[in-house]
């Protein structure tokens, strides 16, 4: 009985593998300068880092779409997992952009004084 279960478990493991082929880009390397004290060069460096992160996240979201399309008949659970990962990625991008925009507003306000 146990011997017949092992091939089934292995098959299930590999059947679910495409759902986790897309790697979520970490945000820990993105440093956003403090707009209240940053130089123009530091703000531009932050902008480049945020833009690079956003591009990686957009690629991640596209990957999620390809993952679900690669499954002939995705289960409800597979679709839900894809939607959760997609929504988390979109939320992370929006959060990163808003954090940067707050600092840009501080930077511009400081220059106007």
- H/E stretch holding 36 reads none
**DSSP-derived secondary structure for 12-74:** HHHHHGGGG-SPPPP-TT-----TTT--HHHHHHHHHHHHHHHHHHHHHHHHHHHHHHHSSS-
How far apart are the C-alpha atoms of 93 and 22, rounded to whole Å?
16
Tell me if 93 sits within 8 A of 57, measured CB to CB: yes
pTM here?
Answer: 0.77
Tell me if 68 sits within 8 A of 78, measured CB to CB: yes
Residue 13, pLDDT score: 38
Tell me if 82 sits within 8 A of 64, measured CB to CB: yes
Does the pLDDT of residue 20 top 70, yes or no?
no
Q: What is the pLDDT of residues 63-95, one digit of tens each?
A: 999 988 888 888 999 999 999 999 999 999 999
């Amino acid at each position: 009985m146990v011997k017949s279960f092992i091939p089934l478990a292995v098959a299930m493991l590999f059947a679910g593998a495409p759902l986790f082929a897309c790697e979520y880009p970490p945000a820990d390397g993105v440093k956003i300068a403090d707009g209240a004290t940053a130089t123009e060069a530091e703000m531009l460096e932050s902008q480049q880092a945020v833009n690079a992160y956003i591009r990686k996240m957009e690629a991640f979201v596209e990957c999620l779409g390809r993952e679900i399309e690669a499954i002939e008949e995705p289960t409800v659970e597979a679709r839900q997992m894809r939607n959760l990962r997609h929504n988390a990625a979109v939320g992370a991008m929006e959060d990163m952009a808003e954090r940067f925009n707050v600092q840009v507003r501080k930077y511009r306000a400081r220059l106007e004084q």
